[in-house]
Homo-oligomer: A and B are copies of this chain.
Amino acid sequence: VTTSTGKVIVNQTITIDGYSAGLNQSEERPFGDDGGDGWGNSLHSWMFDAGEENRAEVAQINAASAVIMGRNMFGPVRGDWDRQWNGWWGEDPPFHAPVFVLTHHARDPQPMDGGTTYYFITEGIEAALAQARAAAGDGDISIHGGATTINQYLAASLVDELRLHIVPFTLGAGVRVFEGVPPLNLEQVAVRGASSVMHVTYRVRS
């Protein structure tokens, strides 16, 4: 892990039992059974319903100079790219930066408005990180998720900083951050409780 250039930061919203998505993910409900239907509270309400209170954390997420995400976070298309899926975020995505999507299926780069371009990386997590590093210059790289992608980067010791946004419910099933990752020794850098989320930043010790 080098920090002479920007940091590699994981940003992830998780339940208090560690899940970043529920079961039954679909195009209509990208986070699956995430509590939103029954409880008026879902994984990402803190970003939207309480965006003002959590402005600093949302801004930090969107400040990355390059973004890496897994294909399941990018969209619901599986297998070949048999339809023109350009992400969940519309024509002007909030990234304003190159986004490297991990996939087993090659596809040409997809430019969007506002400075976002989606690049499709078929050579694995280290190749994606190298390209993100080249694109980010001195800026930070954000591993945006999902948990499967994050766990791969954590297991490979490629993460400098872990920013978790922990919401006050449990899901009991789904995709769990840290699952299958060897033990990590972290330094707790900052903790902030907002009204229905707590934000914690850890530095990953080498």
A interface with B by C-beta (< 8 Å): 16-18, 35, 38-39, 41, 164, 166, 168-172, 177-178, 180-188, 190-193, 195-198, 200, 202
Report whether over half of chain A's contact residues are helix, strand or loop; otherwise say mixed. Answer: loop
Cα distance A178–B186 in the bound complex, in angstroms: 22
A26 to chain B, nearest CB (A): 19
Which listed residue (B39, B183, B198) contacts A35, Cβ 8 A?
Answer: B183
A123 to chain B, nearest CB (A): 28
Cα distance A195–B189 in the bound complex, in angstroms: 8
7 closest A-B pairs by CB: A191-B193, A17-B178, A168-B188, A168-B186, A170-B184, A191-B198, A39-B185
The quantity of this chain's copies bound in the complex is 2
Q: Is there contact, CB below 8 Å, between A164 and B41?
A: no
Q: Which residue of B lies closest to A33 (CB)?
A: B183
Beyond A188-B193, A192-B193, 17 additional pairs, beta carbon < 8 A: A16-B164, A16-B200, A17-B177, A35-B183, A166-B200, A168-B187, A169-B183, A170-B181, A170-B184, A170-B186, A171-B183, A172-B178, A188-B196, A190-B193, A191-B191, A193-B200, A198-B198
Which listed residue (B164, B172, B191, B193) contacts A183, Cβ 8 A?
Answer: B172
Contacts of A172 in B (CB 8 A): 178, 180-183
Q: Is there contact, CB below 8 Å, between B168 and A183?
A: no
Asked if A191 meets B188 with Cβ closer than 8 Å, knowing A35-B183, A181-B170, the reply is: no
A-B contact pairs, 30 of them (CB 8 A): A16-B186, A16-B200, A17-B178, A35-B185, A38-B185, A39-B185, A166-B200, A168-B188, A168-B202, A169-B183, A169-B184, A169-B185, A170-B178, A170-B181, A170-B183, A170-B186, A171-B183, A172-B178, A172-B180, A172-B181, A172-B182, A172-B183, A188-B193, A188-B195, A188-B196, A188-B198, A190-B193, A191-B193, A192-B193, A198-B198
